[in-house]
């Protein structure tokens, strides 16, 4: 029987890696609910993944029960993950999240399991593939336009900050069916060196890579913007999430789902 509602794993974030969290709160794993709502509205069963960075056997068992992986936005990646020292402009880090997301992404790439990365998730895909990042766009390359339209500085999360050009014939361009789209923008890091077997599928006017995808047939897509902010009825968000969920259904049908093993 064909899978109609694939199980999509969404990674989490260590609560105290977020600015402004009181130290007295218990240690917790958290994530913005918009990612889960978007996945569910697109037809998936969202599954919250704990940051078991010191228990890879259990993390592997969780991974095996997934039909796809969604990597949300969040705090900065540790530059040491791509061989650089930490600059003073680098923001908060979450080492457990880095470890878990990089491992899950590498497993998924090896297996051809669908992956969708959003904002930080794009950067995780790139680093997992051997690429590197600009730790801070404004200080490292002033030629870049402004990309850090954060809510903490007065911008709405759905503020359309700039346009990106979509590379013709890529999976992303086919899904969105446009040569150029407007996007929101809430990041100060970005792709510096593109990872192995990745294609830059969207670029902003200042030359920054805004989306990547895998060279092969597997669904491996990352975008630097935040489509989860918008309603699934909005075409660009709906087409992106819809394409991801369809790919997860196809993967489950072709590879078999282990969900029946979960008691």
| pLDDT per position as a tens digit, 81-103 | 999 999 999 999 999 999 999 99
The band of 19, judged by pLDDT with boundaries at 50, 70 and 90, is confident
CA–CA distance from 157 to each of 114, 166, 221 (Å)?
26, 22, 21
DSSP bridge partners of 183: 162
Cα 119-120-124 angle, rounded to 5 deg? 125
Q: What are phi and psi of 89, to 5 degrees?
A: -80, -10
| Helix (H), strand (E) at residue 6 | none
pLDDT value of residue 157: 95
SS (H, E, C) 67-99: CEEEECCCCECCHHHHCCCCCCCCCCECHHHHH
Mean pLDDT, rounded, for 234-242: 93
CA distance 208 to 77: 18
Segment 120-167, tens digit of pLDDT? 999 999 999 999 999 999 999 999 999 999 999 999 999 999 999 999
239 is catalytic: no
Instruction: Answer whether residue 262 shows pLDDT above 80.
Output: no
Instruction: Answer whether residue 43 shows pLDDT above 50.
Output: yes
The band of 257, judged by pLDDT with boundaries at 50, 70 and 90, is low
CA distance 244 to 128: 19
Which residue ranges make up each domain of the chain? Answer: 7-261
Looking at the chain, the whole-number percentage of residues with pLDDT higher than 70 is 97
CA distance 139 to 183: 23
pLDDT value of residue 260: 39
CATH 2.30.30.830 for the 7-261 domain, yes or no: no
Q: Give the three-state DSSP class for 198.
A: strand
119 is catalytic: yes
Give the DSSP letter of residue 167: P
Q: Which is catalytic among the residues 101, 210, 213, 228?
A: 228
To the nearest 10°, report the CA torsion of 209, 215, 248, 258: -120
Q: Which is catalytic among the residues 162, 187, 226, 236?
A: 226
Kindly report the average pLDDT of the chain as a whole number. Answer: 95
Q: What are phi and psi of 136, to 5 degrees?
A: -155, 105
CA–CA distance from 260 to each of 7, 66, 108, 177, 257 (Å)?
12, 11, 20, 37, 7
Residue 23 near residue 82 (C-beta atoms within 8 A): no
Q: Positive or negative CA dihedral for 219, 43, 31, 145?
A: positive
Mean pLDDT, rounded, for 107-126: 99
228 is catalytic: yes
Chain-centroid distance, C-alpha 70: 6
């Amino acid at each position: 029987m064909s899978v109609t509602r694939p199980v999509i794993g969404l990674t989490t974030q260590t609560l105290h890696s977020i600015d402004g969290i009181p130290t007295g709160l218990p240690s917790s794993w958290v994530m913005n609910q918009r990612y889960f709502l978007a996945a569910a509205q697109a037809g998936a069963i969202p599954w919250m993944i704990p940051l078991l960075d010191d228990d890879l056997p259990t993390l592997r068992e969780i991974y095996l029960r997934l039909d796809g992986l969604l990597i949300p936005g969040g705090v900065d990646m540790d530059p040491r993950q791509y061989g650089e020292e930490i600059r003073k402009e680098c923001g908060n880090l979450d080492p457990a999240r880095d470890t878990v997301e990089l491992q899950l992404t590498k497993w998924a790439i090896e297996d051809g399991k669908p992956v969708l990365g959003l904002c930080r998730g794009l950067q995780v895909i790139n680093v997992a593939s051997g690429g590197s990042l600009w730790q801070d766009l404004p200080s490292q390359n002033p030629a870049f336009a402004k990309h850090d339209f954060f809510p903490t500085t007065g911008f709405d999360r759905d503020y359309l900050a700039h346009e990106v050009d979509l590379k013709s014939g890529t999976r992303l361009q086919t899904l969105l069916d446009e040569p150029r789209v407007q996007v929101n923008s809430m990041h100060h890091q970005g792709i510096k060196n593109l990872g192995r077997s990745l294609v830059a599928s969207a670029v902003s006017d200042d030359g920054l890579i805004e989306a990547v995808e895998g060279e092969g047939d597997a669904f491996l897509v990352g975008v630097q913007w935040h489509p989860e902010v918008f309603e699934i009825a909005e075409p660009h968000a709906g087409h992106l999430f819809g394409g991801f969920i369809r790919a997860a259904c196809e993967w489950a049908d072709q590879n078999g789902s282990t969900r029946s093993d979960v008691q």
